[in-house]
């Protein structure tokens, strides 16, 4: 057997080069993963969804989120809590019109690029991808179709909302579907969601609390982002938990705790009025009779966006 002496002489160099390339590639992958996922899970629950927390976020990260993030959001009625809360926030207090400026399907410089009801029309023929509660896996291909469209190349944040999470296969459809998309689109940040609360019907197999636990545990374990609808719906402004609450801050044992809070405050001092669109008409989140629920979910959303933009 003939030995190539030149190759033998270069062997140490080739080994070193190979090791360097493996290290460099793994480092790049790690850095990208940490950028998308963050060093810790970001769970925007009732402890996060407060005005005090919102005002404590350094403005540089709010500015970075507003200028650098491009969000595709798909939902039906219950999902309006986030959108309408975000559309109303710029009118809350002095300076908010610039700090929390937002557009709706109309990207504008200096405003958060928010694309509401973005992905349903991208579902494969015959599939209903209006939200996560319809065809349970339709959101996966609809998201692919949307992100693969060159017209949506700027999108770097995706979020889907539930209608009613009760009875759906979160463990076998939603969580694996989200993980598949996260793996396929490493430059996009995906925000998980728990489902809204159902009055007097939250606990048990397949019900909102149990489903929320599955999602929250997965996000905590894997360092993902999650907007915790269930946690916000079931905790009053003092942090008390009402397991029997519904999505209107209504509890058989705790009364209407969000309506009570709103009645003891005034617009501009303790809460703000949600809007149907940026600068649009005043409206509650769907299925709500008060503004607090959507206010809190908007606070939670901005917390997540600031985290995606680099705030730990």
Q: Does residue 25 surpass a pLDDT of 60?
A: no
Q: Global pTM?
A: 0.88
- What residues contact residue 5 under an 8 Å CB cut-off, 6+ apart? none
CA–CA distance from 213 to each of 226, 242, 248 (Å)?
A: 12, 16, 21
Collapsing DSSP to helix, strand or coil, 107 comes out as coil
Can you name the residues that pair with 227 across neighbouring β-strands? 44, 193
Per the CB < 8 A criterion, the answer to whether 303 and 38 are in contact is no
Question: How much is the pLDDT for 38?
Answer: 55
Helix (H) / strand (E) containing 220: helix 208-222
Q: Please state the rounded mean pLDDT for residues 191-208.
A: 98
pLDDT > 70? residue 98: yes
* CATH T-level fold of 39-308: Rossmann fold (3.40.50)
Q: Using CA atoms, how far apart are residues 181 and 191, in angstroms rounded to an integer? A: 11
Residue 257: which of 276, 232, 274 has the closest Cα?
A: 232
CB 246 within 8 A of CB 198: yes
CA–CA separation, 240 and 230 (whole Å): 13
Spatial neighbors of 44 by CB under 8 A, at least 6 apart, are 225, 226, 227, 228, 300, 301, 303, 304
For the chain, what are the domain ranges?
Answer: 39-308
Q: Which residue has the higher pLDDT, 133 or 27?
A: 133
Average pLDDT over residues 125-138: 94
Give the per-residue pLDDT at 23: 34
Decide: 223 and 41 in contact? Cβ < 8 Å.
yes
What token pair was written down for 231? Answer: 């946690």
If one compares 28 and 44, the residue with the highest pLDDT of the two is 44
- With bands split at pLDDT 50, 70 and 90, how would you rate the model's confidence at 14? very low
Residue 287 pLDDT more than 80? yes
């Amino acid at each position: 057997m003939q030995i190539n002496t030149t190759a033998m002489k270069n062997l140490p160099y080739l080994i070193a080069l190979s090791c360097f390339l493996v290290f460099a590639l793994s480092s790049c992958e790690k850095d990208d993963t940490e950028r998308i996922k963050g060093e810790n899970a970001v769970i925007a629950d009732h402890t996060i969804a407060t005005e005090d927390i919102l005002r404590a976020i350094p403005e540089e990260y709010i500015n970075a989120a507003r200028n650098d993030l491009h969000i595709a959001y798909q939902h039906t009625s219950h999902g309006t809590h986030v959108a309408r809360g975000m559309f109303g926030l710029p009118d809350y207090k002095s300076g908010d019109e610039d700090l929390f400026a937002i557009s709706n399907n109309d990207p504008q410089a200096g405003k958060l690029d928010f694309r509401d009801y973005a992905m349903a029309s991208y579902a494969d023929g015959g599939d209903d991808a209006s939200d996560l509660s319809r065809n349970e896996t339709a959101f996966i291909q609809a998201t692919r179709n949307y992100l693969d469209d060159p017209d949506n190349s700027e999108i770097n944040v995706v979020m889907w909302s539930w209608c009613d999470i009760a009875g759906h296969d979160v463990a076998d459809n939603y969580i694996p579907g989200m993980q598949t998309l996260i793996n396929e689109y490493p430059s996009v940040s995906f925000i998980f969601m728990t489902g809204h609360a159902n009055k007097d019907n939250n606990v048990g197999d397949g019900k909102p609390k149990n489903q929320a636990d599955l999602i929250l545990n997965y996000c905590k374990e894997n360092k993902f982002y999650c907007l915790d609808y269930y946690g916000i719906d079931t905790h009053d402004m003092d942090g008390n938990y009402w397991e029997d609450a519904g999505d209107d801050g209504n509890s058989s044992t705790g009364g209407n705790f969000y309506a009570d809070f709103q009645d003891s405050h005034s617009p501009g001092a303790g809460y703000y009025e949600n809007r149907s669109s940026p600068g649009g008409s005043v409206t509650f989140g769907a299925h709500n009779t008060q503004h607090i629920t959507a206010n809190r979910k908007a606070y939670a959303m901005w917390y997540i966006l600031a985290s995606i933009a680099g705030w730990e």
